[in-house]
Amino acid sequence: MRRKVCIVVTARPSYARIKTVLQAVRDHPDLQLQLVIAASALLDRYGSAIDVIRADGFEPDAQVYMILEGENLTTMAKSTGLGLLELATVFDNLRPDIVVSVADRFETLATAVAASYMNIPTVHVQGGEITGSIDEKVRHAVTKLADAHFVCTQRAGENVIRMGEREDRVFLTGCPSIDIAAEVARSPELTIDPLESFGGTGPDLDLSDGYLVVLQHPVTTEHREAMLQVEETLHATRDSGLPVLWFWPNVDAGSDGTSKGIRVFREQEDLQNMHFFRNMPPEDFLRLLIGGSGIIGNSSVAIRECSYLGVPAVNIGSRQGGRERGRNVLDVEHDRDAILEAALAQAAARRHDCDPLYGDGSAGTRIADLLATIDIGIEKRLTY
Amino acid sequence: MRRKVCIVVTARPSYARIKTVLQAVRDHPDLQLQLVIAASALLDRYGSAIDVIRADGFEPDAQVYMILEGENLTTMAKSTGLGLLELATVFDNLRPDIVVSVADRFETLATAVAASYMNIPTVHVQGGEITGSIDEKVRHAVTKLADAHFVCTQRAGENVIRMGEREDRVFLTGCPSIDIAAEVARSPELTIDPLESFGGTGPDLDLSDGYLVVLQHPVTTEHREAMLQVEETLHATRDSGLPVLWFWPNVDAGSDGTSKGIRVFREQEDLQNMHFFRNMPPEDFLRLLIGGSGIIGNSSVAIRECSYLGVPAVNIGSRQGGRERGRNVLDVEHDRDAILEAALAQAAARRHDCDPLYGDGSAGTRIADLLATIDIGIEKRLTY
Amino acid sequence: MRRKVCIVVTARPSYARIKTVLQAVRDHPDLQLQLVIAASALLDRYGSAIDVIRADGFEPDAQVYMILEGENLTTMAKSTGLGLLELATVFDNLRPDIVVSVADRFETLATAVAASYMNIPTVHVQGGEITGSIDEKVRHAVTKLADAHFVCTQRAGENVIRMGEREDRVFLTGCPSIDIAAEVARSPELTIDPLESFGGTGPDLDLSDGYLVVLQHPVTTEHREAMLQVEETLHATRDSGLPVLWFWPNVDAGSDGTSKGIRVFREQEDLQNMHFFRNMPPEDFLRLLIGGSGIIGNSSVAIRECSYLGVPAVNIGSRQGGRERGRNVLDVEHDRDAILEAALAQAAARRHDCDPLYGDGSAGTRIADLLATIDIGIEKRLTY
Amino acid sequence: MRRKVCIVVTARPSYARIKTVLQAVRDHPDLQLQLVIAASALLDRYGSAIDVIRADGFEPDAQVYMILEGENLTTMAKSTGLGLLELATVFDNLRPDIVVSVADRFETLATAVAASYMNIPTVHVQGGEITGSIDEKVRHAVTKLADAHFVCTQRAGENVIRMGEREDRVFLTGCPSIDIAAEVARSPELTIDPLESFGGTGPDLDLSDGYLVVLQHPVTTEHREAMLQVEETLHATRDSGLPVLWFWPNVDAGSDGTSKGIRVFREQEDLQNMHFFRNMPPEDFLRLLIGGSGIIGNSSVAIRECSYLGVPAVNIGSRQGGRERGRNVLDVEHDRDAILEAALAQAAARRHDCDPLYGDGSAGTRIADLLATIDIGIEKRLTY
């Protein structure tokens, strides 16, 4: 009998982080994929990941609306509670043998709590890393609930073990997002015109002499400052003179602050060099990065995929603080001058070498093989 | 302005663990107590802690029904989700400055998630200890969500720090349950007849020549065996010939197994020496222990309060596994012969000396003073 | 393409009311049955209808725990809210063409709200009747949400139309519970010994010279009096001298009052002639009624099935007030003398003739045929 | 002891419908107001009614986030379930003597279910009217749950009684929204420049020679057509040549369709005569209507307040179908030519006389007096 592996995808960026695992589990002879799509992955205004997932050939076994309106910290907590409430029903009906909880978004804690409370062996992908904000608490809380850990870096694995997890339950698989990066790196040419294919708003831009890509998310524990912070990035990239391709942030408490900052700036300023996108398939997004002059903002893509791809990155503020990084990253504060200077320096720099810090491109199959074979119980204790 | 400290009490045993903190916070000039009563603390069949709490002079600021019927693992997860959903609303309306999450019951994770997600500084009392079952996962997950830690033992504090928490946020306060034990130890005489005052079911028993007290909870991750396990204890204590005062278990997935085991045994056997109680005020319960021949079962009272009080204890099975213990404890498996032998040995033994392993009786005031003065932010990272 | 008909069963008694519809829908060539089991139908202490349903060959498409512990009016409201929340997810995943809401239990409103809000054509079975308590409000609220009405009596149909429903959407089908009664009436012999087959508690009773069957539910809007009320019935039936087969009530706010009344009475009195049952398959229960001296209490079975079967009934108090009844029913207040007198009178009376007031035994197939063929939109207005 | 009257406000438009009742209850010597703010009334993107309510001097006793993201029928049902779940907790903590449920928005059913299930006497304001869409079902379901009815028109009262409600529990009070209209009518001059005071987006418009006000909501049971429907109104009003003041719709399943329709139109067309507003205090909005050339759309304001104020109205489509109307209303389909023709005809027409069809301006005090004095039980039956 094949092991039923239930994977809960709650957001567009999480899908990129787990896609090759979905494929490898689906294709594995000893595994049966149970796919649950929930939270912002179902929502139009966060890019309808569900449509992309279906287009990639996956049909969800269940879908669960769970995000409350309000985009504040109260609704973030309530959404997680609602998710926990409903995912328990979903697991009760699907009866998986293993549940996979992905990374560290606030709502992913619901997956880990439901599964661990229901005595379903729980696997955490991407634990042990260090960052800022609520993600840090979520990530390590999930580690303490999970029964096995598929980590992305050597040091992340060490961290998980130091937190008291059993060494024989920690596996260095690399990050599934690097699998996509590795595949893209094998055919790096962007075959479409992004402005034509993905619309967005703003002027037509000539991308032939380089361009910046911007992706900046609100930082939940500082969400009142989100509007001020994004203004710095808006000024800096506008003043760079380079064409700027700006991607809207995904759902989080405070996204309202960031989004409002962008909206206000757009209305007040005449933005000749900036084009705004809602969303794009991860592969095209990566090709866009490979072909460009660098990525600006606080997305983990700049740290993870871009280290593998050698794309120069300007990382702003505390959101990725503590996360291991390669040589492709320049860190700056939320300061327009510093951002501008770093962006221009990166745009002038050469591409960096491939750095397999976060994986070598085989995480998906490695994880599926482990899911099919590892012996994971649900009982554990601090190893101290 | 006084700091608003919100404490969420979710069960009868948790109340005993936090009562002196409630008192000390209420009486502290720089603190304002916000009391939330939730979960099984509101329910008749788990001893209506709410009535005891009111009788002790506390009026709740909010009460929240959140336990789903079913007493299985699915409803345990759902109850936690419901608690998270509603506690977020409660915190949003009460706007506390600090939230206190008590110990490691499954539903206490809801308190910690709601508070930490809402950027309310979150304090965990009784972290860092090691036990079996789902409590182990809950406890350490709460540690990773909390911003400060009031631990009961030296080793627990070391464990919290090893898990990556900041040393300056970990405080050895001792366990508030020991405060009650210390007070009881100063006037240890039971002034009431328990059978008369607390009713219960079963024959009148002569307690003048010693008696056993039994308190056995189901172990959630083995809940199908709960019925078999309790049978061993039932046989052993019945066969001891000593009068037995048996207390029903509190709410947990699987309590049905334990309770059913008790019910079936009572119907099948003629129990001349066993009397069954639903509940008793903690002080009377401790005096009952002091005056008796020992405690049998898997309650943490046997490990914590009884180490301070020097009451002999027979600890059965895995539930308290890993928890530090004093010399008053004999550990046995779920085996009627082993339980009987240990019970008789303990009944024949002398009282043990007071062991301040879990506290010296001043935890309540110490914690209130810390709550009034410590500087706790909500931002943290693994200290590795 | 077959119409997908989703039927939500939330309690043991509701199953008896809809069982022949489940069968007829499952067997209908143009229909596909989607079965959802929820609420107390999943719970041990309300007789685990789920086990009976599975034994009858139905496999649920989804099951939803939704009853909160507490058995008070607050938890009754919350359970309904939780049901609504989760049934919406279930319908979103199952995508039924028609949803069937059964009768008038409090939680059935969740089915009707979820379906009607989601623009799924909603059918109500057993509307238009008049009774006491919260059921009255629930029943008519469901009528106003439903798009078609399958009523049990002529007068019930008239009532639905008078409330402003379209005449062409009201169908007199009879009650599916009568289908079972009709089938039982064709082979009325009880082939098992109930005490042997269904256990229960209490003395062995000799049933050969007649016996009373008692089924009394708490009346939610008077729930504090439930304990007093049941005492009257307990006294009356004990004093009847006849063997008494007493069935525990099903879940409702206040069941605690009724159940506690029974428990206290059992402990205080020496009950030589009373045996208590948790549950029994509906067919056996009806055969038990046919073979006995009458039914006592406030169950609708006494009004509905027993009118068809001609079983004498003593109906106590307000719960069935307003409901149409046949000649088999004597109505009395919650008064031990009146109950005793009526019980003895009924026990001495002859069996009544079959009265097809609530149906002729073909409701199931009639309803399935209608579900397969009727044209129901979701738009409606008061017809005045 | 004053009666505690709990009023739940769930949306900006509902506040206008109940504001004078809030005032009259707060000021009544025998009543104590308990105010709960919930649902879209808390949300920025629906106009933050909470801010207006606070500015009017009301402080909420509780606030409850309950709207799920998604704006589809599934989330509409789930939001209602969540509201029911949490309002039960709120009522359990506030312990009101009477709960008031306002009008017929989908989430208001949660108020009525929670209150009636908890045996709290429940009053419905604005029952008995006839319209299209899900509101029709909600409104009459609330009637069947409520214990007393404060209706706006003579015919609405007759309808409630025909539905089987007791005549002595139905009171013709008029609509509280007319109270505001009556007060505004006594000082009809708009003392502010709306474009200056309320911002919005779009060109400055000269309003001195007349202007149209547009307010069009999505119709839930036809929500896919919402985008097409609003396009008709957009074309018609654009082509009118008159200055157009357009107000965004409030929350509803499908609002996305309407809003998207507006957004797309704004991006594609050069709108010289249209200005878009998010929100405005009701009094200013009414003065804007009094000073203008007519109201276009499907808002109930056009039917209710505007009949009293004599403002010409073009009512589009089915949303207000069945509702009683005065001579000020012209009804048209979703057809740009018909809308344009009617709008121009109304703009050319004279103001109509005041028609007290929906009230005479004293509903607030009348309702407060009734709340203080009526004897309402919670037990009722169909009166047939």
d(CA B63, CA D95): 12
In this structure, are A193 and A157 located in the same domain?
A: no
Please tell me the predicted confidence (pLDDT) of residue A242. 96
Length of chain D: 384
Residue B178 has pLDDT above 60, yes or no: yes
Cα–Cα distance between C226 and D372 in angstroms, integer?
31
The Cα–Cα gap between C239 and C217 comes to: 20
Q: Do D129 and D255 fall into the same domain?
A: no
| A119 contact C CB<8A | no
Residue A378: which of A216, A82, A145 has the closest Cα? Answer: A145
Beta-carbon pairs below 8 A across chains A and B: 167
pLDDT of residue D184: 95
Cα torsion at D365, D369, D372, D378 (round to 10°)? -100
Contact list, B267 vs chain C (CB under 8 Å): 201
CB distance B220 to B73 below 8 Å: yes
Print pLDDT tens along chain A (384 aa): 899 999 999 998 899 899 999 999 999 999 999 999 999 999 987 878 999 999 999 999 999 999 999 989 999 999 999 999 999 999 999 999 999 999 999 999 999 999 999 999 999 999 999 986 788 999 999 999 999 999 999 999 999 999 999 999 999 999 999 999 999 999 999 888 888 888 888 999 999 999 999 999 887 555 667 889 999 999 999 999 999 999 988 655 445 688 888 888 988 888 899 999 987 888 899 999 999 999 999 998 999 999 999 999 999 998 888 899 999 999 999 999 999 999 999 999 878 899 999 999 999 999 999 999 999 888 899 999
| Residues A34 and A7 sit within 8 Å (Cβ to Cβ) | yes
Residue of B nearest to A377 (CA): B221
Instruction: Compute the nearest-CA separation of A4 from chain C (Å).
Output: 18
CA distance C275 to C205: 8
Q: Within 13 Å, how many C-alpha atoms sit on residue C252's CB side?
A: 27
Classify residue D380: in a domain, yes or no.
Answer: no
Distance from CA of C364 to the nearest CA of B (A): 31
Residue B150 φ/ψ, nearest 5 degrees: -105, 100
Q: Which of C194, C25, C261, C237 is nearest to C125 (CA)?
A: C25
Is the model's pLDDT at D252 over the cut of 60?
no
- pLDDT at site D71: 83
CB < 8 Å to B137, chain A: 116, 144-145, 380
Please check whether residue C381 lies inside any domain of the structure: no
CA distance A92 to chain C (A): 8
3-state secondary structure of D157: helix
Q: What is the mean pLDDT of residues D81-110?
A: 97
**Does residue D197 have a pLDDT over 50?**
yes
Helix (H, G, I), strand (E, B) or coil at D93: helix
Looking at A13-22, A38-47, B287-296, C166-175, which range is the least confident one? A38-47
Question: What is the distance between the alpha carbons of residues B75 and C86, in angstroms, rounded to a whole number?
Answer: 13
- Across chain D, what does the average pLDDT equal? 93
> Kindly report the CA angle at A237 between A312 and A295, in degrees rounded to 5?
20
Check CB contact under 8 Å for D89 and C83.
no
Percentage of the residues of chain D whose pLDDT score is greater than 70: 97
Asked if the structure places residue A366 within a domain, the reply is yes
DSSP state of A318: S
Residue B127 sits in a domain whose CATH number is 3.40.50.2000
For chain A, the chains sharing at least 3 beta-carbon pairs closer than 8 angstroms are B, C, D
Cα separations in angstroms, B208 against B243, B244, B287: 10, 12, 14
Instruction: Locate D244 and state its tokens.
Output: 């157009």
Q: What ipTM describes this predicted complex?
A: 0.91
pLDDT of residue A220: 57
- The Cα D239–Cα D330 span in angstroms is 19
Task: Please answer yes or no on whether B86 and A91 come within 8 Å at the CB atom.
Answer: no
**Do D122 and D21 share a structural domain?**
yes
The answer to the question of residue D124 being in a domain is yes
Q: How far apart are CA A329 and CA A314, in angstroms?
A: 6
Q: Based on the fold, state whether residues B170 and B208 are members of the same structural domain.
A: no
Mutate to test the interface with C, among D155, D225, D382 (most CBs of C within 10 A): D382
Confidence (pLDDT) at D198: 86
The answer on C22 and C165 residing in a single domain is: yes
What's the gap in Å between the CA of A50 and the closest CA on chain D? Answer: 13
Model pLDDT, residue C261: 87
| Residue B123 in contact with partner chain A when CB distance is under 8 A | no
CA distance C336 to D104: 46
Q: Does D212 touch chain B (CB under 8 A)?
A: no
In chain A, residues with a C-beta closer than 8 Å to the C-beta of B160 are none
Q: Does B160 touch chain A (CB under 8 A)?
A: no
Task: Tell me, yes or no, if B92 comes closer than 8 A to chain D by beta carbon.
Answer: yes
Looking at the partner chain, which of B81, B162, B221 has a beta carbon nearest the beta carbon of A164? B162
Nearest to D82 among C81, C106, C164 (CB): C81
Structure tokens given for B252: 């947990």
User: Mutate which of A72, A75, A82, A85 to test chain B, going by most B C-beta atoms within 10 A?
Assistant: A85
A380 domain residue, yes or no: no
Q: How far apart are CA C351 and CA C294, in angstroms?
A: 9
Buried b (16+ CB within 10 A) or exposed e, C358-368: bbbbbbbbbbb
Task: Name which of D154, A201, A145 is nearest B113 in CA terms.
Answer: A145
Instruction: Calculate the dihedral angle through the C-alpha atoms of B64, B68, B72, B73, rounding to the nearest 10 degrees.
Output: -60
**B251 or B121, higher pLDDT:** B121
Chain D within 8 Å of A73 (Cβ-Cβ)? no
- Same-domain pairing of B282 and B323: yes
Residue C223 pLDDT exceeds 80: no
Is any Cβ of chain C less than 8 angstroms from the Cβ of B268? no
Contact yes or no for A40 and D68 at CB 8 A: no
CB contact under 8 A, B88 and A110: no
Residue-averaged pLDDT of chain C: 93
Supply the DSSP string of C289-322, one letter for each residue.
Answer: HHHSS-EEES-HHHHTHHHHHT--EEEESSTTTT
Say yes or no for a CB contact (<8 Å) between D81 and C88: yes
Determine the pLDDT at residue A31. Answer: 98
Considering only residues B243 and A279, tell me which one the structure prediction assigns the higher pLDDT: B243
Determine contact: C380 vs chain D, CB below 8 A: yes
Select the residue from A64, A68, A69 to test the D interface by mutation, using most D Cβ atoms within 10 A.
Answer: A69
Residues with Cβ within 8 Å of C21's Cβ and at least 6 positions away in sequence, in order, are: C7, C100, C125, C176, C363, C364, C367, C368
| Closest CA–CA distance from residue B351 to any residue of chain C (Å) | 39
Burial class (CB in 10 A: 0-12, 13-18, 19+), A209: exposed
Q: Which pLDDT belongs to residue A254?
A: 44
- Nearest-angstrom CA–CA distance, A70 and D31: 33
Q: What is the per-residue pLDDT across D324-338, written as a single tens digit (0 to 9) for each?
A: 999 999 999 999 999
B93 vs D62: CB contact, 8 Å cut-off? yes
Considering the domain architecture, whether residues C28 and C133 belong to the same structural domain is answered as yes
In terms of domains, do C200 and C147 share one? no
Distance of CA D227 to the CA centre of its chain: 22
Half-sphere exposure of A334 (CA within 13 A, CB side): 20
| pLDDT one-digit tens code per residue, B26-79 | 999 999 999 999 999 999 878 789 999 999 999 999 999 999 999 899 999 999
Whether pLDDT at D251 is above 80? no
Could you give the CA distance from residue C221 to residue C208 in angstroms, rounded to a whole number?
39
Cβ–Cβ < 8 Å for A313, A227: no
Judgement on whether residues D244 and D167 belong to the same structural domain of the protein: no
A285-311 CB burial, b ≥16 within 10 A, e <16: bbbbbbbbbbbbbbbbbbbbbbbbbbb
B376 lies within 8 A of chain A by CB: no
Q: What are phi and psi of C364, to 5 degrees?
A: -55, -55
Question: Could you give the number of structural domains in chain D?
Answer: 2
Q: Is the CB of residue C68 less than 8 Å away from at least one CB of chain D?
A: no
Which run of H or E residues covers position B300?
A: helix B300-303
Q: Chain C residue closest to B257 (CA)?
A: C44
In a domain, A379, yes or no: no
DSSP tag of D302: G
**Contact state of C65 with A92 under an 8 Å Cβ cutoff:** yes
From the CA of D132, how many Å to the nearest CA of chain C? 7
Burial group, residue C348, by CB count within 10 angstroms (0-12, 13-18, 19+): exposed
Expressed as residue numbers, the domain containing C270 is 184-358
* One-letter amino acid for residue B228 of the chain: L
C236, C337 in Cβ contact below 8 A?
yes
Residue D254 has pLDDT above 50, yes or no: no
Task: Out of A40, A42, A68, name the one closest to residue D67 (CB).
Answer: A68
Task: Tell me, yes or no, whether D153 and D194 share the same domain.
Answer: no
Structure tokens at B56: 């002790």
Give the CA distances from residue B214 to residues B329, C29, D159, in Å, rounded to whole numbers and listed in that order: 14, 60, 65
Stretch 294-353 of chain A: residues touching chain B, C-beta under 8 Å? 321-322
Q: Is residue A378 part of a domain?
A: no
Q: How far is CA C14 from CA A324, B120, B196, B381, C376, in A?
A: 59, 46, 44, 54, 24
> Is C68 an 8 Å CB contact of chain B?
yes
| pLDDT value of position B224 | 66
pLDDT above 60 (res D175): yes
Is C384 within a domain? no
Residue in C69, C107, C264, C278 to test binding to B, most B beta-carbons within 10 Å: C69
Question: Are both D347 and D205 inside the same structural domain?
Answer: yes
How many residue contacts between C and D have a Cβ separation below 8 Å?
A: 167
Whether the predicted model's global pTM rises above the 0.90 cut: yes
Q: What is the pLDDT of residue D249?
A: 84
Element (H, E) at B247: strand B244-247
Please give the angle made by the CA atoms of B99, B105 and B108, to the nearest 5 degrees: 25
Sheet holding B122-125, edge to edge: B62-64, B31-38, B3-9, B98-102, B122-125, B148-151, B170-172
Specify the pLDDT at position B253.
Answer: 45
How far, in Å, CA of D116 to CA of C351, rounded?
A: 40
Name the residue with tokens 């926990």.
A84
Of A63, A82, A85, the CB nearest to C93: A63
Check pLDDT > 90 for residue C217: no
User: Is the same domain home to C230 and C111?
Assistant: no
Nearest C-alpha in A relative to C82: A85
* List of chain B residues whose C-beta atoms are within 8 Å of the C-beta of residue C78: 65
Transcribe C128-174 into DSSP letters.
S---SHHHHHHHHHHHHH-SEEEESSHHHHHHHHHTT--GGGEEE--
Contacting residues for A371 by C-beta, under 8 A, at least 6 apart? A3, A5, A25, A28, A31, A98, A100, A123
Contacts of residue C43 in chain A, CB cutoff 8 Å? none
Question: Hey, is B309 helix, strand or coil?
Answer: helix
Q: Give the nearest chain B residue to D86 (CA atoms).
A: B86
What integer is the mean pLDDT of D346-367? Answer: 94
**What Cα–Cα distance (Å) separates residue D324 from each residue in B378, C17, D301, D308?**
57, 41, 12, 13
With 90 as the cut, is the pLDDT of residue B200 above it? no
Task: Give the orientation angle of helix C282-291 with respect to helix C12-27, to 10 degrees.
Answer: 120
| Chain C residue numbers touching B75 (CB-CB < 8 A) | 65
